[in-house]
Structure 1
Amino acid sequence: MVLAEIEEDIQAIEQDEAIYQEINFNSRANAIDFIDFHIIDRIDGLLQNSAYQKELTILQQRAEKVKTDLEKIDNNLFKRLRENIRTGTYKESSFLKTLDEYFDQDDNPTDNIGYDNLDNFMNGLLSDQAIPEPIMEREQEMVFYQKTPARIILEIAELANLGSEDVFFDLGSGLGQVPILVNLISGTAAKGVEYEPAYCNYAKTCASQLNLHLVEFINIDARLADYSQGTVFFLYTPFGGKILQTVLEILQKESLKRTIRIFTYGPCSETLAQQNWLNCVHGAVNDPYKLCAFRSLSF
């Protein structure tokens, strides 16, 4: 009975013509997850103690082939889209239109927690490099790197309504996804400030491969960076405590020269809400899974 169920699951994916069409990335991603967690993992468990080793091995090989075939479709898709980015085919709104072709808003609700298929898409699209291991030891108040959910980056780009006069800074930019996507969506100059050199080099290579001249990554402690050009800033809680407060004091000095906007995600939103030079204009600061936006006050 179990063998028949597994074979039926594999056959259903094999015969689903829609997921083999390049445009149906969402359905294909769901199918790959199903193969991984409901077929291959199930077979692995059964192989530990089963009289049907041969039959299960055949099913496992069959499932792995289906998964490989589906992943090849994605790899070819990403290769083509990266070439389009490199050659300047996608400019601002046209990049968003391309995303809309692959993602329905109902498939990626903005009120969920964690990552979704849009993140899988961005991970494959922006680079085919292997993710490097960090080589620097973090200070105690520095937070370990986590990617900003792609839906949050799209929300930033929409709310910020960036123009050619803006310069966007991502503090703790990691592998560079936020500045790259902000630039692709808005055309605005975007800079990433990153303490970890391995991550910064990865991001630089990614931007170079995509031929994004207005995207820059700076390997420096955020407390030492030059923010004189910045008009819009983003922090996905890259640090806390005294480091965060020092950086905020630096940004406050910048706000005396011009109005600045700061977007936050994660626990640091509550700290920014306590700053008397900032006004929260969007979001719930006590919810770490909601994007918040702040604007500097005029003095």
Structure 2
Amino acid sequence: MNAELIMVISEIQSDISAIENDTTLYEEINFDKRANTIDFIDFHIFDRIEGLQQNTESNKKLDILKQQAEKIKFRLEEIDINLFKKIRQNITAGISLPFKYLIDKYIGAASSNINQPDKIGYDNLDAFVNGLLAYKEIPEPTLDRASEMVFYQQTPARIIFELTQLAQLTPDDIFFDIGSGVGQVGILVNLISKATTYGIEYEPAYCNYAIACASQLNLANVNFINSDALKGDYSKGTVFFMYTPFEGRMLNDMLLILQKEAQKRPIRIFTYGPCSPYVVMHNWLNCVNGDGNSLYKLYEFRSLDN
């Protein structure tokens, strides 16, 4: 075994020992630190071990280190599984703490990302939300998308928190997520604000998944409807959200539908992604928090009667 290999193996062993001996990682409350450590195991321990295994002869020491790391990762993930199970039970029973409090408690410093403008990608807040809300693997779609429909992409959790903060939703609001995918936006908005939410989703497998997620949490005021968004009933809606569910003529037709609703009552529309620069061009809407041209900023639009 050459000196360089010995040194790398020693570094890996030292990293594994440091994780194993850090008792704070095994305290339920330290989800954020645990998530960072699991990423470190995946991308700095497993990756190095696998790289060495591909470029060296069979080495028993590497096999032992990989087994140690796998056991530690499994133990850390078990803590999170039990944590999510406990929180879900409390939500189902109606005895959970305010959801924002739970986020601050378990995510800690990572929750500050909620107010970071133009941040790109996902973070530990998404890992927490995914672990809490997902009851099984997300299903594969069963229908072909129309040419102007955009493929499903999860809304970053920080954007949903920012939305509820900007919208100041109340239990009297009726919130619509247009193109709701597997339902995380509608569920989170309800958990944070208690507003009644509706998700309109074209793909039945996603819609059924969302219904099951809301059902397991006993959320009576969270609703998902399997429908073409252009055929939805929006007559009760007060706040609408679109994470660019479609483009072109479909997006224009959706805005025409919402414009007709705005003629009956004031409405607000929140957008995220490539649809925002298109929405800002419509003169029946006023963008109240920017120019509408960033793809990575949440925008609020109000109908001119609002």
TM-score (ref. length: structure 1): 0.97
In the other structure, the counterpart of 1:230 is: 237
Match of 1:10 among 16, 31, 47: 16
1:255 aligns with one of 262, 268, 278: 262
Q: Match of 1:132, SS?
A: coil
- How big is the shift at 1:90? 2.6
1:98 to 77, 97, 102: 102
Instruction: Quote how far apart the aligned CAs of 1:259 are.
Output: 0.2
Distance 1:23 1:48, change over 3 A: same
Give the CA deviation at 1:117.
Answer: 0.2
The reply to whether residue 55 of structure 1 matches residue 61 of structure 2 is yes
The CA distance in 1 between the partners of 2:84 and 2:290, in whole Å, is: 33
Partner Cα separation in structure 2 for residue 238 and residue 107 of structure 1: 27
- Mapping 1:15-94, distance limit 5 Å: 15-51=21-57, 53-90=59-96, 94=98
Q: CA deviation at 1:108?
A: 4.2
Corresponding residue number in structure 2 for 1:207: 214
TM-superposed CA distance for 1:164, in Å, is 2.4
What is the CA deviation profile of residues 25-49 of structure 1, one whole-angstrom value per residue up to 9, with x for unaligned ones?
Answer: 0100000000000001111111112
3-state DSSP of counterpart to 2:55:
coil
Counterpart CA distance in 2 for 1:106 and 1:150 is 12
1:113-163 C-alpha deviation (Å, 9 max, x unpaired)? 100000000000012211100011001111111110000000001111112
Deviations 1:189-238 (A, max 9, x none): 00000011100000000001100000000000110000001000000001
Following superposition, the deviation at residue 105 of structure 1 comes to 4.6
* Aligned: 1:192 with 2:199: yes
Q: Kindly indicate whether the alpha-carbon contact (under 8 Å) linking 1:23 and 1:101 is maintained by their aligned counterparts in 2.
A: yes
CA distance in 1, matches of 2:180, 2:220: 17
Which residue of 2 is the match for residue 134 of structure 1?
A: 141
State the distance in 2 between where 1:65 and 1:211 align: 34
Count of residues in correspondence between the two structures:
297
Q: Which runs of 4+ in 1 moved over 3 A?
A: 105-108
Contact 2:230 2:254 in 1 (8 A): yes
Amino acid at match of 1:76: N
Gaps of 5+ in 2: 1-6
> 1:104 deviation in Å?
2.8
> What letter is aligned with 1:57?
D
Work out the CA distance in 1 between the residues paired with 2:10 and 2:248: 57
Give the Cα–Cα distance (whole angstroms) in 2 for the partners of residues 170 and 294 of structure 1: 15
Note the aligned Cα RMSD (angstroms). 1.3
State how 1:260-275 maps to structure 2 within 5 Å. Answer: 260-275=267-282
Tell me the amino acid that sits aligned with residue 99 of structure 1: I
Residue 108 and residue 56 in structure 1: after superposition, are their counterparts in 2 closer, same or farther (change >3 A)?
farther
Corresponding residue SS for 1:279: strand
Q: Is the 8 A contact 2:189 2:197 kept in 1?
A: yes
Aligned residue identity for 2:11: E
How many angstroms apart in 2 are the aligned matches of 1:283 and 1:85? 36
Question: What per-residue deviation string (whole Å, max 9, x for no partner) do you get for residues 234-257 of structure 1?
Answer: 000010000000010000000000
Deviations for 1:70-129, whole angstroms, at most 9, x for unmatched residues? Answer: 0000000000001111111136xx111111111235664223210000000000001221
SS across alignment from 2:171: coil
Q: Which range is displaced more, 275-284 or 231-240? A: 275-284
8 Å CA contact 2:103–2:111 kept in 1: the answer is no
Structure 1 residue 285 and structure 2 residue 292: aligned? yes
Q: Note if 1:146 corresponds to 2:150.
A: no
Q: Which residue of structure 2 lines up, in the alignment, with residue 171 of structure 1? A: 178
Distance of 1:251 and 1:35 partners within structure 2: 48
